[in-house]
Amino acid sequence: MLREAHVLNWLAGRLHVPEVVLTAENAGGEYMITRCVPGEPLSARIEARQPVLELFIKALRQVQAVPVTNCPFDASASFRLRELEYLLANGLIAEEYDLNQWPGLDTPQDLLARLHGTLPCEELVFVHGDPGDSNVFVDARDEPYFIDLGRGGLADRWMDVAFVHRNLREEVSKGVAAEFLDALGQLDAPAKREFFEQLDELF
């Protein structure tokens, strides 16, 4: 929680994020209070069957446009892999996961080995880390606001792309997800997208 507070404070003036009001910690954990962001989450637009493709694209471009000079937050694939190793070693992985979507993966240890073997070279930008439809809000003018930035930091640009693509594929349609990739204006990197989806599966 304190890491997220530091990320939000660093992003103030760089991106529309909640203002941190108070942080605290004790033996029971870490705590943070923020002000609300305006608008509604993109999930509400999806539930109302309203278009969200352009909103996701706008949000992603704003995040990736954050200047990374002196950014102190590591969110790279190798950093996330170390987190995953810790979770596995301490029995803290997600209780529900689906490895059947990727042939040849039967156990979390199989997935970890696959990830180590396919670790990509990264083109670092600022990433949100979890830019799903519940973490991106839009106001009445369709201006994006972002919450839940505990995973924010420097990572490969395809991390956030992979998560937005998965969100659209699962919650809207495969066709809209394909349109999203086409709208990026760059050659697709399906191997990287798969890597980041696999990396996220056990969290």
Q: Which is the catalytic residue, given 74, 98, 106, 130?
A: 130
Q: What pLDDT is attached to residue 147?
A: 98
* Cβ partners under 8 Å of residue 44, min gap 6: none
Q: Domain extents for the chain?
A: 38-200
pTM recorded for the entire structure? 0.96
What is the structure's pLDDT at 194? 98
Give the pLDDT confidence score for residue 107 in this predicted structure: 97
Predicted confidence at residue 133, as pLDDT, reads: 98
Amino acid present at 80: R
Reported as type and span, the H/E element at residue 40 is strand 40-41
Q: Which residues contact 116 (CB under 8 A, 6 or more apart)?
A: 81
d(CA 40, CA 140): 9
Give the tokens for residue 110. 């199989």
Q: For residues 94 and 170, give the distance between their C-alpha atoms in angstroms, rounded to a whole number.
A: 19
- 98 belongs to the catalytic site: no
What would the pLDDT profile of 44-102 be if each residue is shown by its tens digit? 999 999 999 999 999 999 999 999 999 999 999 999 999 999 999 999 999 999 999 99
- The class of domain 38-200 in CATH terms is alpha beta
Report pLDDT digits (tens) over 113-172: 999 999 999 999 999 999 999 999 999 999 999 999 999 999 999 999 999 999 999 999
